[in-house]
Structure 1
Amino acid sequence: MDKKTPPTKIDTSAKKRRFVFVLLPQFTLLCFAAAVDALRIANRMAGKEIYSWTVTGEGGDTVSCSAGTQFKLDSDLPELSRDDTLMVCGGIDVQDGTTKRMLNWLRREARRGLRMGGLCTASYTLARAGLLDGKKATIHWENQDSFAEEFEDVILTKSVFVVDGNRMSTAGGTSSIDLMLTIIADDHGEDLANAVADQLIYSSIRTDQDTQRLSVPTRIGVRHPKLSQVIHMMEAHVEEPISPSVLASEVGMSTRQLERLFRRYLNRSPKRYYMELRLQKARNLLMQTDMSVINVALACGFASPSHFSKCYRAHYDTTPYRERGSHATRLSV
């Protein structure tokens, strides 16, 4: 403890809490590091150890994050205490790390009644274990489409993080900080949480009401209310696309005016922009789910597999079947 930094006043009635971080292969380093560092700083600012943590994973040896750095694990999926808080850390290709043994272990530990969270893409792992059924949850925006298709019993949100009873989830990246600050505030008060945020130079603490993606105007670099409104409608109706004439009518424009608006600001027609949105969702589903190509086509508003394949090839220079095959080959190497 730095002598110039006096301990922050905390709620001394709260018990010391242990976090168990489960690192899946190819986990995202930022989501893990942000969570651990928030706990470390909380201890420093409190002037005593109010949080401890251990790192585990299947095999109990080492695991690599998506950046390639290897981490030494403390144990191999141990038996936990009911008072522990378990955090699963996911990243790219989370399906590969979601093994039968991992799922069985998570289910066993969940029966003890302990709190569990999924950081970044690890909501997928908790959902596969059936631990998010009937619960609100979130996951990284890139995995939202595939998650929604696979887990109908989970109430998926676009929030930065979600706490629903004894289940927690984050969208990845710095959202781990927001969740940890919420936990610290609940455990020891707002003063300590704010002190931790200051140490992290984290000046804008988000709540579970904040959404994870940038607003449409920020994403496209254009602030035009009618254009944003049309894009919102497109994103909300991928499975059943809306015609340009209906989109134009909804925002009080003619079809020709809508065409000019898209050409001016996005250098493409509304039809082309809509098609790119649908193909991007299709690519996510092909890479992240076991859905058949036909079902992917239907989920993205294509009436026939042949039309879907033709549009996909024109945009990505490969067919949906080859895309899935090459992805599977990369994972098996």
Structure 2
Amino acid sequence: MSDKQYHFVFVLLDNFSLLSFASAIECLRIANRMAARKIYSWEIQTEGGANVSCSAGTTFASDNALGELNRDDTVLICGGLDVQKACTKVMLNWIRREARRGLAIGGLCTASHVLATAGLLDGKRATIHWENHDSFAEEFEDVILTKSVFTVDGQRMTTAGGTASIDLMLKLIADKNGEDLANSVADQLIYSSIRTDQDTQRLSVPTRIGVRHPKLSLVIQMMERNIEEPISPAVLATEVGMSTRQLERLFRRYLNRSPKRYYMELRLQKARNLLMQTDMSVINVALACGFSSPSHFSKCYRAQYDTTPYRERGSHGARLPI
């Protein structure tokens, strides 16, 4: 095991995910304990050195304001709710400067959005929490977005949030100080299934919907992959070797709704995510979710959520700072 010490700088954004942050820092603490020496050190930085609150409401004190770091430091930016508000000029300029100096920089949970806004993920593989996946894909076309629990592409790291921080940190510990130490940390965390960057963040369709019918799962996967250009129930049925009537019965039996209704709910859920997380116009949101007519989109949206897309945007729509 190398005698070298490694320093991590955790940059906490307002409303950051406590689980993502705690999971990462605990891995470092336990690694030091298992190694019986201080391999890893860390500090907390915030914009302006101000105290910052996590999404659960607990306030954390900052060790330092954003400043020039050592080139061997690893930066992990911790995001959470309303991450767009954290994309200030001060934050973006600081990230770009440290990136130009060659530092390894990662984004935990939704902080991938900040890295992408700063241009650090252009042409690179990245991930973000599944709930933000649609809006991220629409906004950052130059990023190779994956559904992995975490990604490492050169000097850039991203995680999907939650316990994915553990998986990333275990990889970093294994790379720096060997798999034996990483496995010891996992054992201490009672973390019995270490995931790699090949593992996806969401449960499989059968597990998620509680149904293990193979043809139903295939149809739902096709629906999820074709939101912008919906496929007709007749074509879906043909693709899995069924008649349209059989497909209707299958959905009624297991999901208590028609294929058309289920598909509509998937499209409206994506629309709601885009309205709440992006600055896309309502018309463009409608098109991205397979609605050719804004009036039809509004009618369907009202029936599902008891409000119009315009009112949803007015009360919840995120705005990126200038």
TM over 0.5: yes
Q: Report deviation, 1:327.
A: 1.0
Q: Report deviation, 1:12.
A: 2.0
2:133 matched to which residue of 1? 144
2:177 matched to which residue of 1? 188
User: Which residue identity lines up with residue 119 of structure 2 in the other structure?
Assistant: G
CA distance in 2, matches of 1:26, 1:62: 11
Q: Report deviation, 1:30.
A: 0.2
2:2 matched to which residue of 1? 12
2:276–2:318 CA contact under 8 A, matched in 1: no
Q: Does residue 92 in structure 1 map to residue 81 in structure 2?
A: yes
SS at match of 1:59: helix
User: Which residue identity lines up with residue 182 of structure 2 in the other structure?
Assistant: A
SS at match of 2:64: coil
CA distance in 2, matches of 1:278, 1:149: 15
1:212 matched to which residue of 2? 201
Q: Does residue 21 in structure 1 map to residue 10 in structure 2?
A: yes
Q: Does residue 223 in structure 1 map to residue 229 in structure 2?
A: no
2:29–2:40 CA contact under 8 A, matched in 1: yes
User: Which residue identity lines up with residue 93 of structure 2 in the other structure?
Assistant: N
Of 36, 51, 54, the residue aligned with 1:47 is 36
User: Which residue identity lines up with residue 245 of structure 2 in the other structure?
Assistant: R
SS at match of 2:263: helix
Alpha carbons of structure 1 residues 283 and 216: separation in structure 2 relative to 1, 3 Å: same
SS at match of 2:65: coil
CA distance in 2, matches of 1:307, 1:328: 21
User: Which residue identity lines up with residue 6 of structure 2 in the other structure?
Assistant: R
Q: Does residue 262 in structure 1 map to residue 246 in structure 2?
A: no
CA distance in 1, matches of 2:316, 2:275: 9
Q: Report deviation, 1:100.
A: 1.4
CA distance in 2, matches of 1:329, 1:104: 22
Output the aligned Cα RMSD: 1.2
CA distance in 2, matches of 1:76, 1:125: 18
Q: Does residue 293 in structure 1 map to residue 282 in structure 2?
A: yes
Alpha carbons of structure 1 residues 244 and 91: separation in structure 2 relative to 1, 3 Å: same
User: Which residue identity lines up with residue 134 of structure 2 in the other structure?
Assistant: D
Of 279, 286, 295, the residue aligned with 2:268 is 279
Q: Does residue 124 in structure 1 map to residue 113 in structure 2?
A: yes
SS at match of 2:245: helix
1:307 matched to which residue of 2? 296
| Structure 1 residues 307-332: Cα deviation after superposition (integer angstroms, max 9, x where no partner) | 0000000000000000010115999x
Question: What aligned pairs does 1:58-137 form with structure 2 within 5 A after superposition?
Answer: 58-137=47-126
CA distance in 1, matches of 2:28, 2:226: 41
SS at match of 2:106: strand
CA distance in 1, matches of 2:34, 2:253: 52
SS at match of 2:114: helix
Moved more, 136-145 or 92-101: 92-101
2:232 matched to which residue of 1? 243
Q: Does residue 252 in structure 1 map to residue 226 in structure 2?
A: no
**Amino-acid identity (%):** 79
SS at match of 2:47: coil
SS at match of 2:55: coil
2:82–2:318 CA contact under 8 A, matched in 1: no
Of 186, 191, 198, the residue aligned with 1:197 is 186
2:278–2:318 CA contact under 8 A, matched in 1: no
User: Which residue identity lines up with residue 234 of structure 2 in the other structure?
Assistant: S
User: Which residue identity lines up with residue 253 of structure 1 in the other structure?
Assistant: M
CA distance in 2, matches of 1:188, 1:33: 21
Unmatched tracts of structure 2, length 5 or more: none
Unmatched tracts of structure 1, length 5 or more: 1-10
- So what's the TM-score if we normalise by structure 2? 0.98
- So what's the TM-score if we normalise by structure 1? 0.95
Q: Does residue 156 in structure 1 map to residue 145 in structure 2?
A: yes
CA distance in 2, matches of 1:309, 1:224: 33
Of 227, 232, 247, the residue aligned with 2:221 is 232
CA distance in 2, matches of 1:329, 1:256: 42
Q: Report deviation, 1:256.
A: 0.4
User: Which residue identity lines up with residue 215 of structure 1 in the other structure?
Assistant: S
User: Which residue identity lines up with residue 12 of structure 1 in the other structure?
Assistant: S
User: Which residue identity lines up with residue 208 of structure 1 in the other structure?
Assistant: D
1:4 matched to which residue of 2? none
| Structure 1 residues 28-50: Cα deviation after superposition (integer angstroms, max 9, x where no partner) | 00000000000000000011000
Regions of 4+ moved over 2 Å:
328-331
Q: Count the aligned residue pairs.
A: 320
1:7 matched to which residue of 2? none
2:275–2:317 CA contact under 8 A, matched in 1: no
Q: Report deviation, 1:293.
A: 0.4
CA distance in 1, matches of 2:251, 2:319: 37
User: Which residue identity lines up with residue 37 of structure 2 in the other structure?
Assistant: K
